[in-house]
Structures are given as C-alpha cells and as structure tokens.
Amino acid sequence: MGTPALAARMLERLAAERERFPVVAVVTRPDQPRGRRLAMEPSEAGAVATRLQIPVLKPVKIRTAEFVAELKSYAPDLIVVAAYGRILTQAILEVPRLMPINVHASLLPRHRGASPIEGAILAGDAETGVTIMRVVEELDAGPMLLERSIPIEPNDTQGRLKEKLAELGGAALIGALELFARGEIVETQQDESLATFTKIIEKKDAVIDWRRPALEIERAVRAYDPWPVARTGIGGEDLLIWRARVENDAAPAATAGTIVSIKPEIIVQCGMGRLTLIEVQAPGRKRIASGDFARGKRLEIGARLGT
C-alpha cells in the first residue's frame, strides 16, 4: 500500500525479489488530474504496479466492508505500507496472516507523522533513516522491527534525501522480510518519552520569516525543495529561493529581511546571522543566480524582503 515516488521505488525493489516475496496486489490512491492538460494519471506506485503487471486496487473509500473483503481475497501474509497517505482501520490491520508493517522514513520514535523527511532537515538532525514497524491504530506508534540509518549531508534537500531513503527503505524492507521468513523477527517497543511529531506540509509553511535565525531559514530552503519551495515577497511578487548559504551567526546589524549586499550574490539580514541567496526564481521565470536577479531587478542595498 503506497502512493508517491518513495513508495514506487520500494515497490520496484520488492518486485525484484518476487520469487522469494511475491507481491499479490498493490493498493494506491485513485488516479488524479496532472500536468497542464489535467489528464487523469495514476500515482507513481500505481504506474509501477501496472508496468510490473501486478493487480492494482485504487479504492476511493477504504472504510468499507467491500474493500476489506477484496483485501482478504488475496490472502496476504503481510501488508506493507509505505507513504500510502491514509489511516488504516482495525479491520484492514487484521487482514494479513502475520501482521501489517510500515516503512517509515525516520528513526522512530522521532518524527512520527506525515512529513518525517522535512522534519529531520528542519530540526537540524545529524542523521535520519528508516524504521520497519508493526502498524497499529495509533499514528506511527507500533513496535519497531528493524532500523537503518544514514547521515544527513549539509547539502541534502528533501528531494535528495527522499531518493536516499527510498533506496535504504527498499533494502531494509527486504531485510525485514528475510527475518520474517526465518522466524527471527523481534518487536521492540518505542520509547514514548522520545516521540516527536510532524504535520502535513502546506504552501504557507514555506513563507520565510526573516526574524528567524539564518541557520533555520537555510534548513527550510532545503526541507522545502522541491515542494513547496521556500519563498519570500519582493515588490509585491513571490521570490522562490532554491539554494542558500549561512554567512554567520552574529547579532543583527540591520532590520531582519534587509538586503545588505548584492555583489556577487544577494545577502539578507536575518534575526540572527545573514543568509546568502545562491539561486532564486521569479514567478514564471527560470532559476538563476541571485546576483543576476539583483541586476535584472536593479535591487539596491537596503531593500527589504518579506511582507
């Protein structure tokens, strides 16, 4: 059960082991309109399942007896969940012979919830990883079966980290299935005192508050790449910020949001420290170096960003 590219890559990894661990069906979200023409297209996981000739279920509602009966018809030993995007009912959790398991993109109990990858970057964590866990009704609170970790590099964006965790998650999933096959799976309860939570990311979350420290804003730039993209206001328009660099952590010498330099790149005063804007994008334009943007806009030192 999965929907986005992260789940699709794990499905491909699992399908490569289909002789040992056959996937009898894939459950994903219904097709949605995409692209400029808004044509109905399957989810990334649904597209992979179709290509691999695996039966695909796209229920509009999962809280129905009909859907539960359809799941039972496949007689699964396990249900594997990876970024499906819906809360599973107890009736669904009881379908597999062994248990339902989830591939969660964090080192639980840290960063439970919908946005663990963004959460790890925003928090400035030194490492992240994947946790294979038993699914229970409470959000990401089930016992852990296996964990794998990787460092978060200074230039890791949300998109880059998702690619890394998709590969790590696929390998960890195969490792967990091998433990199941040998009867060696062990459940470890999570420490509730260490639990942290993330929320669904919205476009408004990416609007920069220049009163924040430069270090936190730089993390937001990476956490919201490729969506919803960190942004600020300038001249009544949005300015998307794709790449940035922290200059220092000194006390502010100008009002937060003030441009203090434009050559060779735009440097902005933050609540603590300054942030160099490396690559930016105006609405409807291409991504360009911030210095080129400043020259094109004829920006001057002292101009303010934000609302």
Q: pLDDT by residue (tens digit) across 113-136?
A: 999 999 999 999 999 999 999 999
* CATH code for position 156: 3.40.50.170
When pLDDT is averaged across residues 169-183 and rounded to a whole number, the result is: 97
DSSP per position, 233-291: EETTEEEEEEEEEEEE-PPPSS-TTBEEE-SSSEEEE-SBSEEEEEEEE-TTS-EEEHH
In a shared domain, residues 70 and 144: yes
Give dist(CA 176, CA 188) in Å, integer: 13
pLDDT recorded at residue 34 = 83
In a shared domain, residues 153 and 139: yes
When pLDDT is averaged across residues 138-165 and rounded to a whole number, the result is: 97
In a shared domain, residues 67 and 167: yes
In a shared domain, residues 60 and 126: yes
When pLDDT is averaged across residues 70-78 and rounded to a whole number, the result is: 98
- The answer to whether residue 287 is domain-embedded is yes
In a shared domain, residues 117 and 193: yes
* CATH code for position 212: 3.10.25.10
pLDDT recorded at residue 250 = 67
Q: Which two tokens stand for residue 154?
A: 């200074």
Q: Which two tokens stand for residue 220?
A: 């937001």
pLDDT band at 37; cut points 50, 70, 90 = confident
The answer to whether the Cα torsion of 13, 128, 84, 187 is positive or negative is positive
- Token match 């995409």: residue? 34
Q: pLDDT by residue (tens digit) across 207-234?
A: 999 999 999 999 999 999 999 999 999 9
How is the chain split among helix, strand and coil, in percent rounded to 5?
A: 30, 25, 45
What three-state secondary structure class fits 38?
A: coil
Residue range of the domain that includes 213: 203-297
pLDDT recorded at residue 251 = 66
Q: What's the domain count of the chain? A: 2
